[in-house]
Chains A and B, each alone.
Chain A
Amino acid sequence: DARVTQTPRHKVTEMGQEVTMRCQPILGHNTVFWYRQTMMQGLELLAYFRNRAPLDDSGMPKDRFSAEMPDATLATLKIQPSEPRDSAVYFCASGPDGYQPQHFGDGTRLSIL
């Protein structure tokens, strides 16, 4: 089965450090999404790409978060500087074009001390 691959699976770091999360979407999928999940807020969409072009990043704190897709096989989400309130599980999902469902990676569990 094709899967979305995310790395790292877990990350613990100190406040102020840069955090980079990576995602390899399913081959052939041309939409890629970044979500953040917390107990309080549920699943929040941070950013999404179509054919590697960013379409919407309105869910992201622009001053510290950035999302890029340098090629079709890699999407990145960076936080610089990180803060304790960024602690959450970050999911990447990909989907084929059209109104088709997204498939999620296993997530990165991020803890900022």
Chain B
Amino acid sequence: QKEVEQNSGPLSVPEGAIASLNCTYSDRGSQSFFWYRQYSGKSPELIMSIYSNGDKEDGRFTAQLNKASQYVSLLIRDSQPSDSATYLCAVPMDSSYKLIFGSGTRLLVRP
């Protein structure tokens, strides 16, 4: 059973702080990794894709991938209350187009 694991949270950080969200996956052959943000009552929205080891930055978001340790993380700098949402990690399964989603980490940014 291929798995994607996330801490369900909630992760509570003060406004302006760095929020760090982590995800581990079991399929050592996975090649692509995605972070989705889901506001309550809304659909998942893609915010980051990462395909190679290291860091990828996009505005206040940085995705970090370590294939040897099988984890991918998402850092949100200068967190804002509007970042409060559930963040879903997604990894393709068995070299197919099927994405396995983690259960999500709920982030709460306190004003």
Contacts and interface: CB of A to CB of B under 8 A. Distances in A.
Contacts of B103: 42
A31 B92 CA distance: 13
Contacts of A43: 44, 88, 101
A99 B44 contact: no
Contacts of A107: 43
A14 interface: no
Nearest to A41: B103
Interface residues of B, number: 21
Contacts of A50: 97
A48 B46 contact: no
Where chain A touches its partner, the secondary structure class is strand
A20 interface: no
Interface string B2-39: 00000000000000000000000000000110101000
A105 B43 contact: yes
Contact of A48 (B43, B45, B98, B104): B98
Interface of A: 31, 33, 42-43, 45, 48, 50, 55-56, 91, 95, 99-107
